[in-house]
């Protein structure tokens, strides 16, 4: 379903759950990670959180985790916790979406059973960053991350990916990364969203680099819209585009989704999410309508079965026809 002529922008009412902040990567721009060995979230704590959310119109539970090393003695515990969190969220009426870094094919296959969609940022596919911001980040190898998108396609997992802009890459790198996404989508038809995320310095990072210029974003979005297939939605995080006029310019350029809006942006904790009321105040004077969506777009509903399919059907009825995907 295409909304190319619609003045409609979507977002997902979401809450982010973090199984662990521990991560074996040390990306110099990161404001999220802690050192390996940090405590993991308990299921009982998560259950208490989910209970509080049940009457708050939250649809999506984003399971966002640091990466436990594939050969760590904690890997199995970590993966089982993620699976159990997804299963718990689903049983309590939510729709899980997991972004937990590099996973094995088998791990992705298992998580498919308890997730309506999954995600992983490609960031940038240039190997040059392995000498700079990704020097101490083994799982940021471009071929590893691209492989995740391919495996998701083979497993028929609706997938969200994206670019991180302004971490030392070139403009050519942007277009090459977008082209790679477009080519994979042509093979598997499984990419539902591409996030264009501007680097926004935080207080925890060691990367001494200026923020990506948000005034450049509309131009990047317009070019991305030309490169990407029409059935992939472009998403931008509104809390990282503080200027209202430039946020509107990004939308006019082709961004049609504002991502999951939750109480806290775990990846960019220094930049509070703009909540629904304020977003409407920004959009409505410019004749844009803000609508809710699910973490899985309607064209992928046929890939779901069992509890996933039933949960999605309930939420589609709850949100009504306006939860349809927004394509520009």
Averaged pLDDT for residues 111-137: 97
Averaged pLDDT for residues 221-248: 96
Q: In this structure, what are the phi and psi dihedrals at residue 46, rounded to the nearest 5 degrees?
A: -60, -40
Averaged pLDDT for residues 203-232: 92
- Report the candidate in 253, 251, 271, 246 with the shortest Cα–Cα distance to residue 261: 271
- Report the candidate in 85, 234, 267, 239 with the shortest Cα–Cα distance to residue 161: 234
Q: How far apart are CA 29 and CA 139, in angstroms?
A: 15
Tokens representing 192 are 């539902």
- Total tally of structural domains belonging to the chain: 1
What's this model's pTM, rounded to 2 decimal places? 0.94
What is the domain range of residue 12?
8-323
Q: How far apart are CA 229 and CA 208, in angstroms?
A: 35
User: 217-227 and 171-188 helices cross at what angle (nearest 10)?
Assistant: 30
Residue 193: inside a domain, yes or no? yes
Count Cβ atoms within 10 A of the Cβ of residue 37 and give its class: 0-12 exposed, 13-18 middle, 19 or more buried: exposed
Does the pLDDT at position 1 exceed 80?
A: no
Count Cβ atoms within 10 A of the Cβ of residue 36 and give its class: 0-12 exposed, 13-18 middle, 19 or more buried: middle
Residue-wise pLDDT tens digits, 10-32? 999 999 999 999 999 999 999 99
Q: What's the chain's Rg over C-alpha atoms?
A: 18
Tokens representing 256 are 């049609």
Does the pLDDT at position 214 exceed 90?
A: no
Residue 1: inside a domain, yes or no? no
Q: How confident is the model at residue 323 (pLDDT cuts 50, 70, 90)?
A: very low
Count Cβ atoms within 10 A of the Cβ of residue 93 and give its class: 0-12 exposed, 13-18 middle, 19 or more buried: middle
Residue 109: inside a domain, yes or no? yes
Q: Contact 220/182 with Cβ under 8 angstroms?
A: no
Instruction: Report the percentage of the chain scoring pLDDT > 70.
Output: 96
Averaged pLDDT for residues 234-257: 95
Q: How confident is the model at residue 209 (pLDDT cuts 50, 70, 90)?
A: confident
* DSSP secondary structure code for residue 112 in this structure: G
Least confident of 186-200, 213-227, 256-270: 256-270
Q: How far apart are CA 212 and CA 216, in angstroms?
A: 8
Residue 328: inside a domain, yes or no? no
Residue 3: inside a domain, yes or no? no
Residue 127: inside a domain, yes or no? yes
CATH of the domain at 198: 3.20.20.70
């Amino acid at each position: 379903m295409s909304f190319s002529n619609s003045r409609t922008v979507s977002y997902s009412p979401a809450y982010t759950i973090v199984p662990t902040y521990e991560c074996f990567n040390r990306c110099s721009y990161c404001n999220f990670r802690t050192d390996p060995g940090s405590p993991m979230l308990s299921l009982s704590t998560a259950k208490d959180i989910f209970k509080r959310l049940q009457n708050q119109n939250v649809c999506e539970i984003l399971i966002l985790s640091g990466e436990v090393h594939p050969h760590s003695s904690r890997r199995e515990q970590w993966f089982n916790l993620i699976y159990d969190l997804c299963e718990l969220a689903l049983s309590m009426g939510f729709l899980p979406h997991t972004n937990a870094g590099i996973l094995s094919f088998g791990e992705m296959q298992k998580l498919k059973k308890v997730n309506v969609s999954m995600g992983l940022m490609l960031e940038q596919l240039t190997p040059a960053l392995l000498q700079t911001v990704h020097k101490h980040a083994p799982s940021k190898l471009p071929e590893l991350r691209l492989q995740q998108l391919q495996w998701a396609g083979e497993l028929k997992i609706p997938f969200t990916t994206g670019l991180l802009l302004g971490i030392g890459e070139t403009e050519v790198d942007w277009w090459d990364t977008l082209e790679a996404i477009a080519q994979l989508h042509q093979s598997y038809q499984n990419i539902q969203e591409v996030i264009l995320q501007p680097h926004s310095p935080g207080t925890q990072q060691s990367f001494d680099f200026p923020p990506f210029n948000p005034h450049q974003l509309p131009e990047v979005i317009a070019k991305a819209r030309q490169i990407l297939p029409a059935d992939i939605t472009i998403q931008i995080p509104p809390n990282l585009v503080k200027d209202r006029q430039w946020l509107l310019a990004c939308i006019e350029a082709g961004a049609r989704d504002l991502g999951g809006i939750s109480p806290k942006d775990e990846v960019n904790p220094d930049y509070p999410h703009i909540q629904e009321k304020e977003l409407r105040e920004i959009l409505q004077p410019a004749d844009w309508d803000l609508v809710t969506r699910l973490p899985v777009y309607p064209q992928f509903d046929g890939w779901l079965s069992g509890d996933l399919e039933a949960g999605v059907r309930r939420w589609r009825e709850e949100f009504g026809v306006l939860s349809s995907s927004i394509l520009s």
